[in-house]
């Protein structure tokens, strides 16, 4: 089953995997190529759009500002040629030196009106020597000299010089004068009175109008802005308020060496361009730049890269998302299709596996009507037919089994009966055989007994004669033994008395020895006088020693004799007792023998008759035995035949059992 399962898994993987692979190949490769091309085209289109917007905006603003500057200069020139201005210069210059010139009231009103009408913030009348004759704003008071003093190097002084020298109107740079809140740029126009330069009209422009123009961020999105700046010594000075730094005008300086100043520096140096940049905040951006000759400013129109390329990024994300969604969809579709195809095959495999394992109950669930449905239907039909067939075989085998069992039981029973019969017959044969043998043995034994009885009678008669002689001899022997014992006892008694004598001798010898020792000691004490006595004492001791030795020998000999005698007495006693017993037994045996002889002589005659009868009986038993043996053989043969039959039945039963077992593997 495990193998089947893994096989099924392998097939499923194979079908599903191949479907998935080809689905992905067919669907995704063209899609990917198309998407790549489209994305490339769209990206370049977006980038070009951004570039066009920025470049056009820069060009538009530049031309607008240039037009504005030219208009201002033209207005100024026109005003300077007006008779009111010429007359005012003439009258104010005629005032005596040393006293400030004071304009008449109507003249001042006119000048104020003219400035307002042409959108000028300041109006100065300067005589040819550089003295201020009239000032609309007291930030530059009347009487101030432009040639000397604090304004000598100012933009106003430069413009005055240029107007006086070139006799042309011109626009100067912005500069802060006195305590004015905003810087001013002056349009300086020569005032000619009858072809002669009498003074210069200076009209102050504030940057508000320019800023207004540059603060229009239309078409620049959320982060786009316009930066104007001029070169100033070592840095670039921003001249407009910025979208992200409102107060940057004339305050923010970007060092020339920094990355942040690269684009605006190129603009201020007069170059036109477009490209990526880093702005004053350090943010990556993209911008177009150009030069404003009237103001000698650089103009930079820029936008943050994040916003400018937002669409490009969005497009990229959209492509990735769409690709993923496509892959997912294709995969799912492939899986579903694969499952649709492989599922019925798996079902068929499972059913086939169950049938192979012997389970025929498997139900097939047919859900489709395509080729796989037809396959499942065939399998179901096959299983159903197989089930019916196996069921019938099982029924038949059960019936066959019970029949075989019944036959076997009957045969066994019959065999048992025959066996019992055979066994009984065999027992009978054995018994008859035993009787026959016993009879024969009995006949033989009787014959022998008869002979033995005859012989015994003769021998018993001989024995009785011998026994009479032996009895007499034994009696004599018993008498001799008794007298021998008596003599031995006497010897033992004598030996005891000898022993007593020896003991006495020993004691005497001991005393003598003691005496000799003491005598020797006394002799020693007697000194020289005792020497002779010492010799005597020594002789006495020697004598005593010899005596002691002799007495010891006697004592030992006597003891040995006594021991021998007493042993002899004991043996004699035992012997005489045995003799007496022998005599008694011989007498008894002799009596019995007499009786036997009489009896044997009586019996011997009758044995002959008995033997004859026994012989006849033995012959009869032999005949019976032969008949029984034949009977037993018949029973045995019958039993053998039955046994064979039984064995055949067992084989049949085994065969049926095997069949049943085989069939029982199937579950229906």
Closer CB to another protein, residue 504 or residue 664? 504
Are 121 and 206 in contact by the 8 Å Cβ rule? The answer is: yes
Distances (CA, A) of 334 to 16, 331, 368: 7, 5, 19
Token pair, residue 534, equals: 């010492």
| CB nearer to another protein: pick between 517 and 583 | 517
Q: Which of 77, 333, 517, 550 binds another protein (CB under 8 A)?
A: 517
Contacts of another protein in 537-566 (CB under 8 A): 537-538, 541, 545
Binding residue (CB under 8 A) for another protein from 114, 267, 418, 520: 520
Instruction: Output 52 or 553, the one with its CB closest to another protein.
Output: 553
Alpha-carbon torsion, ordered 268, 271, 274, 279, to 10 deg: -20
User: φ and ψ at 128, to 5 degrees?
Assistant: -65, -15
For another protein, the closer of residues 248 and 537 by Cβ is: 537
* DSSP-derived 3-state class of residue 370: coil
Among positions 250-309, residues that touch another protein (CB under 8 A) are none
Of the residues 456, 482, 492, 506, which one makes contact with another protein according to CB under 8 A: 506
The CB-of-532 to another protein minimum distance in angstroms stands at: 14
Q: Is 12 in the site for another protein (CB under 8 A)?
A: no
Which one, 232 or 545, has the nearer CB to another protein? 545
Q: How far is the CB of 562 from another protein (least distance, A)?
A: 22
Looking at the DSSP assignment, which residues form a beta bridge with residue 199? 127, 191
- Of 102, 514, 567, 641, the residue at the interface with another protein (CB under 8 A) is 514
Give the integer Cα–Cα distance in Å for 186 and 206: 9
| Span interacting with another protein, options 10-18, 130-138, 166-174, 534-542, rule CB under 8 A | 534-542
Instruction: Return the number of the residue (510 or 601) whose C-beta is nearest another protein.
Output: 510
415, 646 contact by CB (below 8 A) = yes
Query: d(Cα 164, Cα 154) in Å, to the nearest integer?
Result: 15
Nearest residue to 554 (alpha-carbon basis) of 594, 487, 495, 514: 495
Contact window for another protein (CB under 8 A) among 8-16, 97-105, 381-389, 510-518: 510-518
Per DSSP (E only), the strands in 404-519 are none
Cβ-count burial of 376 within 10 angstroms (0-12 exposed, 13-18 middle, 19+ buried)?
Answer: buried
Instruction: Give the span between the Cα atoms of 329 and 340, in whole angstroms.
Output: 16
Interface with another protein, residue 228, by CB under 8 A = no
Query: Considering only 206-214, 425-433, 508-516, 657-665, which stretch makes contact with another protein by CB under 8 A?
Result: 508-516
Cβ-based neighbours of 460, under 8 Å, separated by 6 or more: 593, 594, 596, 597, 600
According to the binding rule CB under 8 A, does residue 72 interact with another protein?
A: no
Q: Which is nearer to another protein, 191 or 537 (CB)?
A: 537
Distance CA 636, CA 628 (A): 12
507 near another protein (CB under 8 A): yes
According to CB under 8 A, which one of 340, 427, 518, 619 is a site residue for another protein?
Answer: 518
The residue count for the chain: 668
Size of the site for another protein (CB under 8 A): 16
Closest CA to 389 of 25, 109, 666: 666
CB of 511 to another protein, least distance (A): 8
Interface residue with another protein among 534, 540, 554, 659 (CB under 8 A) is 534
Residue 73 and residue 170 in contact, taking contact as beta carbons nearer than 8 Å: yes
- Using CA atoms of 623, 624, 627, 633 in order, give the dihedral in degrees to the nearest 10: -120
Which string of x and - marks every residue 460-499 that binds another protein (by CB under 8 A)? ----------------------------------------
Query: Which residues touch 376 (CB under 8 Å, ≥6 apart)?
Result: 344, 347, 348, 351, 364, 365, 366
Output the smallest distance, CB 508 to another protein, in A.
11
Q: Is 524 in the site for another protein (CB under 8 A)?
A: yes
Q: How far is the CB of 521 from another protein (least distance, A)?
A: 5
- Cβ proximity to another protein: between 498 and 517 the closer is 517
Nearer to another protein, 517 or 659 (CB): 517
Shortest distance, position 566 Cβ to another protein, whole Å: 27
Residue 525 touching another protein (CB under 8 A):
yes
Measure the CA–CA gap between 353 and 335, rounded to whole angstroms: 25
| Closest distance to another protein from the beta carbon of 587 (Å) | 59
DSSP conformational letter for 178: T
Q: Could you tell me the two tokens for 313?
A: 């990024």
Min separation Cβ 526 and another protein, Å: 11
- CA nearest neighbour of 244 among 208, 281, 217, 271: 281
Binding test (CB under 8 A) with another protein, winner from 521, 557, 570, 598: 521
Does residue 503 touch another protein according to CB under 8 A? no
Residue 518 beta carbon to another protein: minimum distance, rounded to whole angstroms: 6
> For residues 668 and 655, what is the distance between their CA atoms, to the nearest angstrom?
22
The residue ranges of DSSP E strands in 206-350, in sequence order, are 225-232, 235-238, 253-255, 273-278, 284-292, 297-304
Binding site for another protein (CB under 8 A): 506-507, 510, 513-514, 517-518, 520-521, 524-525, 534, 537-538, 541, 545
């Amino acid at each position: 089953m495990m193998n089947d399962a893994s096989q099924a898994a392998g097939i499923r993987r194979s079908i599903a995997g191949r479907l998935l692979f080809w689905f992905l190949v067919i669907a995704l490769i063209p899609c990917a190529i198309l998407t790549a091309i489209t994305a490339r085209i769209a990206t370049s289109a977006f980038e070009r759009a951004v570039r066009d917007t920025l470049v056009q905006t820069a060009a538009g603003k530049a031309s607008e500002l240039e037009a504005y500057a030219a208009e201002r200069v033209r207005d100024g020139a026109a005003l300077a040629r007006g008779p009111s201005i010429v007359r005012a210069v003439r009258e104010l210059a005629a005032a005596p030196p040393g006293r400030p010139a004071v304009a008449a009231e109507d003249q001042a009103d006119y000048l104020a009106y003219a400035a307002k009408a042409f959108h000028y913030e300041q109006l100065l009348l300067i005589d040819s020597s550089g003295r201020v004759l009239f000032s609309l704003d007291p930030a530059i008071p009347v009487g101030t000299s432009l040639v000397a003093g604090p304004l000598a190097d100012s933009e106003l002084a430069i413009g005055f010089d240029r107007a006086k020298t070139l006799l042309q109107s011109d626009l100067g740079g912005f500069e802060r004068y006195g305590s004015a809140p905003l810087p001013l740029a002056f349009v300086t126009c020569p005032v000619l009175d009858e072809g002669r330069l009498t003074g210069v009209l200076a009209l102050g422009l504030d940057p508000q109008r320019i800023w207004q123009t540059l603060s229009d961020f239309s078409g620049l999105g959320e982060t786009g802005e316009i930066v104007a700046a001029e070169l100033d010594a070592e840095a670039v000075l921003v001249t407009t308020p910025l979208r992200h730094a409102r107060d940057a005008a004339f305050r923010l300086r970007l060092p020339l060496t920094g990355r942040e100043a690269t684009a605006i520096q190129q603009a201020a140096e007069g170059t036109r361009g477009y490209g990526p940049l880093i702005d004053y905040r350090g943010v990556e951006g993209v911008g177009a730049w150009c030069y404003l000759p009237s103001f000698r400013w650089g103009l930079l129109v820029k936008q943050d890269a994040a916003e400018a390329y937002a669409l490009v990024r969005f497009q990229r994300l959209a492509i990735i998302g769409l690709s993923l969604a496509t892959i997912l969809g294709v995969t799912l579709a492939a899986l579903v299709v694969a499952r649709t195809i492989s599922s019925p095959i798996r079902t068929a495999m499972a059913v086939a596996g169950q049938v192979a394992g012997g389970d025929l109950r498997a139900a097939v669930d047919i859900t489709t009507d395509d080729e796989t449905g037809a396959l499942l239907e065939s399998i179901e039909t096959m299983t159903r037919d197989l089930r019916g067939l196996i069921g019938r075989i099982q029924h038949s085998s059960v019936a066959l089994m019970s029949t075989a069992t019944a036959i076997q039981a009957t045969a066994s029973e019959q065999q048992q009966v025959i066996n019992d019969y055979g066994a009984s017959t065999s027992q009978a044969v054995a018994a008859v055989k035993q009787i026959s043998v016993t009879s024969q043995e009995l006949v033989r034994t009787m014959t022998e007994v008869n002979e033995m009885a005859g012989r015994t009678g003769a021998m018993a008669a001989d024995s009785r004669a011998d026994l009479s002689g032996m009895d007499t001899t034994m009696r004599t022997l018993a008498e001799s033994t008794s007298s021998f014992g008596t003599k031995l006892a006497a010897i033992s008694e004598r030996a005891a008395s000898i022993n007593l004598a020896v003991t006495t001798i020993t004691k005497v010898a001991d005393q003598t020895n003691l005496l000799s020792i003491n005598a020797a000691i006394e002799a020693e004490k007697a000194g020289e006088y005792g020497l002779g006595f010492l010799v005597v004492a020594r002789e006495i001791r020697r004598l005593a020693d010899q005596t002691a030795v002799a007495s010891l020998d006697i004592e030992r000999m006597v003891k040995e004799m006594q021991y021998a005698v007493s042993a002899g007495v004991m043996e004699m006693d035992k012997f005489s007792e045995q003799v007496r017993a022998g005599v008694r037994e011989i007498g008894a045996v002799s009596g019995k023998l007499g009786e036997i002889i009489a009896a044997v002589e009586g019996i011997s005659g009758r044995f002959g008759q008995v033997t004859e009868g026994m012989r006849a009986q033995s012959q009869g038993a032999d005949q019976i035995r032969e008949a029984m043996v034949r009977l037993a053989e018949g029973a045995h043969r019958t039993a053998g035949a039955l046994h064979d039959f039984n064995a055949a039945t067992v084989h049949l039963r085994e065969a049926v059992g095997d069949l049943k077992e085989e069939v029982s593997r199937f579950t229906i």
